[in-house]
Chain A
Amino acid sequence: MSEKKKSKCIIIPCSGIGKAVGTITRRATYIVTEELLPNDTDSICLPLLTIEDKETVQKIRQNPCITVDGCVAQCAKKNVEHHKGNLKGEIKILDVIKENPKLKPGNVLDIGPDGEKLARKTAEKVVRIVGDKS
């Protein structure tokens, strides 16, 4: 008897290299995919979407996706939308910062304790969206 394989939710951070918010998107994604929901979530390399890698494009169309963006350019969301991915939710770190004005992240290479807290709060938001979609 075969059991239908449950699709995983794909978490896609922008991983921007210019600002600390980019690193926070990345850290939040790993908190979700490695610690909080390792069996229900997965990630991809965003640049594979940028270069239109067929396997990756197929993956984001077949699985629900949540994007996590650092800045207003919203590269993760735009890359998923461009390829008609199955976008189920989007998070902007700038919103998480607005909700937690006392937390001041460090820099790109070291987001610091406040950056880590912001990453964890972002991860919790992602988990809630995954829960809503399952």
Chain B
Amino acid sequence: MKIKPKIGLIACSGEGLCEGMISRVATRRILEERDDVVTICLPLFLAGGQEERDFAKDNPCITVDGCDKMCAVKGVKMYGKVHPKSSIVISEIIRKGKHSGPISKSRIEPEDEKLVHETMKIINKEVDRVKEEE
């Protein structure tokens, strides 16, 4: 029986912008809710060894980026030599959903919860879709 790999969730967690905080918190909450997902710290692609670089080959990945620089997508391509199965960008969710942008880089304010919940909903949907395809 073929064992299906867990889905890799890779958040940018960007420190320089509020959207990085949303990517981090939404991803972490999903990791705590589901047992079919795993993660890796994005900077570990460079700092770690081959095992870390193979993460994206071993686990079909969904990236969660804060902005259109898309560090998580680029990290998977650069180090994993594969394309993510799905790419989620917080700034696009804000634009499409007509949300006001988050206001703090260091914490989730009550008014940011709606955006975090919408991001989690999208991540969950994409995890289910990617699992179905694998």
Please list the residues of chain A having a beta carbon within 8 angstroms of any beta carbon in chain B: 12-18, 22, 26-27, 29-30, 34, 43-53, 73-76, 78-79, 82, 108-109
Contact = CB atoms under 8 A, between A and B. Distances in A.
Nearest to A83: B46
Size category of the B interface is: 20 to 34
A74 B39 CA distance: 17
Nearest to B9: A17
27 contacts: A12-B15, A13-B15, A14-B41, A15-B24, A17-B27, A30-B106, A45-B12, A45-B14, A46-B42, A47-B14, A49-B46, A50-B42, A50-B43, A50-B45, A50-B75, A51-B71, A53-B69, A53-B71, A74-B47, A75-B43, A75-B46, A75-B47, A75-B48, A79-B47, A82-B46, A108-B28, A109-B28
Given A26-B15, A45-B20, A16 B106 contact: no
B71 A47 contact: yes
Contact of A73 (B24, B31, B48): B48
A82 B46 CA distance: 8
B14 A16 contact: no
Nearest to B71: A47
A16 B45 CA distance: 12
Interface of B: 11-17, 20, 24-25, 27-29, 31-32, 39, 41-48, 69, 71-72, 74-75, 78, 105-106
Contacts of A45: 12, 14-17, 20, 69, 71
B16 A43 contact: yes
A49 to B, nearest CB: 7
Given A75-B44, A79-B47, A47 B13 contact: yes
Contacts of B31: 17
A12 B13 CA distance: 13
Contacts of B43: 14-15, 46-47, 49-50, 75-76, 78-79
A73 B44 CA distance: 8
B105 A16 contact: no
Contacts of A53: 69, 71
